[in-house]
Amino acid sequence: MDFSLSYFLLLADQEVPTRSVPLGGNAYSHDGIVRGQYLQAVLKYKFSRHMSGHLWSELVFPGNYYASKDTITFLRAELMFTF
């Protein structure tokens, strides 16, 4: 069994975004440089010589750089057979 946990603080070098915003949308707050926090956890397990699997999860917590503060989540379970 193998477990890894990673954390990253995402920063921008300026408050003004370098990409244009689509018409009618305001994705950026223009009020900070913290793009967010990224957390990743991976659990791997080898059941036998021919079967292994992993459980992979990711969370993104948007910072004050973006107007939307909705948490982004990802979860995947995978089972692999090797012959």
Task: Provide the mean pLDDT of the chain.
Answer: 87
At 49-75, the pLDDT tens digits run 999 999 999 999 998 888 888 899 999
pLDDT of 31 reads 75
Confidence of residue 16 (pLDDT cuts 50, 70, 90): low
- Measured torsion, CA atoms of residues 16, 18, 21, 26, in degrees rounded to the nearest 10: -20
- In this prediction, residues 29-35 reach a mean pLDDT of 78
Residue 37 scores a pLDDT above 90: yes
Q: Which residue has the higher pLDDT, 30 or 46?
A: 46
